[in-house]
A and B are shown apart, each in its own frame.
Chain A
Amino acid sequence: MSTPPIDRQPIESYEVTGKRTKELTRRQIKKARITGIVMFALAAIVMFLLAPAAAGTSTFGLSFADETIQLPPLSVPSQGSLWVLAMVLGFLGATQFFRGFQSRTTVILGIAFAVFVFSIMVWATAGQEFSLISMLVSTIARATPIALGALSGILCERSGVVNIGIEGMLLGGAFTGVVMGSLLGGWVGLLAATLTGGVLALLLAVLAVNFRVDQIIIGVVINILVLGLTSFLTAQLLVKNPDLNNAPIFQALKIPVLGDIPIIGPMFFDQTIIVYGMFILIASVTFMLFRTRWGLRTRSVGENPKAADSLGIKVAKVRYLAVVYGGMVGGFAGAWFTLGTVGRFDEGMTGGRGFIGLAAMIVGGWNPIGAFFAALIFGFSDSMQQKFAVIETPIPGEFLAMAPYLVTIIIVAGLVGRARPPAADGQPYEKE
């Protein structure tokens, strides 16, 4: 209340280098200083906490034993590399602190975090061998439900309906997927999971479009409803009939030739059908949203339903379709948890992946391809957590398990201010 709005604060001249002078506000300088200090702090952690504790060499495996083309494992001296990495971080921090990267700050900060994460990996694997390739493969696998969840959110929100219920759609898909999969096989399970997501989305569409209920409340209700219902049915039905909770798992399908390429082959061309489905959906939804009449209509309804309506587009119908498609993608993603991994259902097994998908959607700027790359970050932290739990690290497992959630908060806090949602997102449309 006491400080004037930012745009009314006096702009002061700031000497950036000897050559050019740039007008920077006091706020920008402060921000540059803070990010510089953050990088310094990361450098200090690597230098004084990680490096002294790292002895021997860190070995990263780059190939599985059964691959046709074998890459030699990458071995680096742990302590020496950490010193180098700390120096890189220190250099970035110093530059940022004294002159600032300005428009490139976000990219540099991202690089700094990547360097820091790599430092942690070098430190954790000091004197050990660590299969980097299996971590990369599981990054793609674990990014799959998150990317699909984000895609589900994108489809709904591009039409102007906020979908907080992705978590429930994942969980519902996982449940019916395993039950129908146990009864009639994996493909039927996959279909049932997809339809379950669609039915839940229909509930969202009816309440949001027809009854104009607050969309965040509906989403939360869907989550509570599905969690309660699946837990109830698990206790009442699946515990008594274990046959219903034992579905066949989709095995990885290796694509000939492409699957033999080192590193890229196992990551992208030796995965399950659900992962391939994710790639196909990301590509096709991107095409449909930005290159077809349906996509243009959906986006226009999400941006300005009134204008779209006056052009003769049926707002309610467009929203129904987009939300139900989105729900089906969410249900398909749910199948990953059961049919794509373990073949059995556990209460609340999605563990917040739907919400992480929502964060990926925001970080990716409501764009399927952007959301996929955001999902990779979450998938990476998720898989790092899993793999570090196996090798012996001094980090307590509970903190590793926090990693995906912490990353989500940091990224959402860092980016959402700049992310621009569809203009009519979350607003019910009432025809006048």
Chain B
Amino acid sequence: MTTTQIPSTDNPEPKNSRSFMQQLTTGTDWKSAALIPALAVLTALIIGVVIIMLTGSSFGDAMSAYWALLQGSVGSLKAISETLTAATPLILAGLSVAIAFRAGLFNIGTEGQLLMGGMFAVWAGFTFTGLPFYVHIPLALLAGVVGGAIWGFIPGFLKAKTGAHEVITTIMLNYIALRLVDFLLKTEIFQREGRNDPVSKTVEASAQLPLLLGWINPGLRVHLGLIVALAAAAFIHWLLFRTTTGFEFRAVGANPKAARYAGMSITKTYVLVMVIGGALAGLAGAGQVLGVLDRATPGFSSGIGFDAIAVALLGRSNPWGVVAAAVLFGGLSAGGQQMQVSANVGIDLISVIQALIIIFVAAPALISAIYRLKAPAASTQISKGWGS
């Protein structure tokens, strides 16, 4: 295994015969990497206008809603800070989905892994007192990593040992994590003293992630988690493209049978990928409770794990693509808040737009047909059926 050559990210095959999976597994040219996603976003926003107008608003209302969306995402330093704050967990959770894609697994369980990571981190955050911040913060983040990794291990192990499809097991584990959080928040260990509602104790100041721009204005919420997320993206990029382990992940993802004949362990890869994916999601949860919320409440994940699927697809499972997609979705999310408040258009529109973006990214032929581009005959194939 040590002699395995790591192939470069250049793709030797002709452009128009590449499948989407191959694009996920290898590099991408600028057209499919930037033009198609950009047009996908544009088209989704246009359809969004139609949906707003269908609910009885005028074209002008829709435009003012989008103006609020723009203002709320990049209109001011505060807005940019909000965008980056929202992007932080999306980067980590998106990486979690992306690394699983690379190995041919569909990790829909990011939401649950994020919840478990957040619970572990919040526990470490309020339990240990009197620690200096340079010990307490890494400790709490590590707790988050462990929590997420445990929740990621379960579907990976089940997939490898019994063949249980990860799509079903991870979704079920999401629901179980949600209920488990509800339960834990009412136990003596977690529940804040003197409260009847499910709310955890507050994280000690020594474990709260410092604000990056707090010296300008304490209201700017962007926190250290952003640096952690970017470092994680760099690490995953290195892991995937510069190590033997990463090569094995990609080989198993591209063709598990061939990888097995080459002497790679499918079992090990599935378990390891899900553990790493869970750890990343757990880190995202830890960042939320330590950097933004300072406590855990029921369902504090607020759908980040599902947005992460869109982020990973839009970013084509490339770590830096994920970062870019997460910033875009962070902007949509931060701007969506503004849109809801000042234009009175529900924030759920954002998830509709996100779903449309994934459709157009996953079916580039649709975009090519709409805009009369030279058609890249890309088809998409991640799933390997139920049995394998």
Contacts and interface: CB of A to CB of B under 8 A. Distances in A.
Interface in B213-269: 263-265, 268
Contacts of A296: none
A233 B55 contact: yes
B168 to A, nearest CB: 5
Contact of B313 (A217, A235, A351): A217
Nearest to A411: B164
B199 interface: no
B304 to A, nearest CB: 13
A352 interface: yes
B387 A416 contact: yes
Interface in B157-197: 158, 162-165, 167-169, 171-173, 175-176, 179-180, 182-183, 186
Contacts of B186: 396
A232 B348 contact: yes
Interface centre among B186, B313, B356, B387 (most CB of A within 10 A): B387
Given A224-B351, A409-B169, A412-B169, A211 B379 contact: yes
Interface in B343-387: 345-346, 348-352, 354-356, 358-359, 362-363, 365-366, 379-387
Interface stretch (A140-148, A261-269, A397-405): A397-405
Interface string A336-374: 000000000000000110010011001000000000000
A419 interface: yes
A352 B164 contact: no
A417 B162 contact: yes
B108 interface: yes
Contact of B385 (A212, A413, A417, A425): A425
Nearest to A352: B175
B70 interface: no
A212 B263 CA distance: 32
B165 A399 contact: no
Contacts of B386: 162, 362, 416, 419, 421, 425-426
Given A213-B363, A355-B171, A426 B385 contact: yes
A217 B348 contact: no
B98 to A, nearest CB: 14
A421 B351 CA distance: 32
A67 interface: no
A417 B310 contact: no
- Interface of A (DSSP majority class): helix
A392 interface: no
B133 interface: no
Contacts of A128: none
Contacts of B108: 220
A200 to B, nearest CB: 12
B158 A413 contact: yes
B182 A214 contact: no
Nearest to A399: B183
Nearest to B163: A417
A398 B183 CA distance: 6
Given A224-B306, A232-B349, A421-B385, A216 B169 contact: no
Contacts of A402: 175-176, 179-180
Interface residues of B, number: 57
A1 B168 contact: no
Nearest to B352: A228
Contacts of A428: 379, 381
A218 interface: yes
A406 interface: yes
B309 interface: yes
B348 A235 contact: yes
Interface size class of A (residues with CB under 8 A): 35 or more
B120 interface: no
A428 B350 CA distance: 30
Interface string B141-166: 00000000000000000100011110
A220 B309 contact: yes
A416 B165 contact: yes
Contacts of B329: none
A427 B380 CA distance: 10
Interface in A374-432: 396, 398-399, 401-402, 405-406, 408-409, 412-414, 416-417, 419-421, 425-428
B349 A352 contact: no
B263 A1 contact: yes
Nearest to A222: B355
Nearest to B369: A211
A140 B168 CA distance: 23
A228 B348 CA distance: 5
A61 to B, nearest CB: 29
A286 B100 CA distance: 37
A221 B55 contact: no
B191 to A, nearest CB: 13
A161 to B, nearest CB: 11
Contact of A221 (B51, B172, B349, B355): B355
Contacts of B163: 416-417
B126 interface: no
Contact of A412 (B168, B350, B380): B168
Contacts of A408: 168, 172
A280 interface: no
Given A213-B363, A362-B386, A399 B179 contact: yes
B123 interface: no
B300 interface: no
B97 to A, nearest CB: 11
Given A211-B379, A426-B384, A427-B381, 8 more contacts: A207-B362, A214-B382, A221-B358, A224-B310, A229-B352, A362-B386, A398-B183, A425-B386
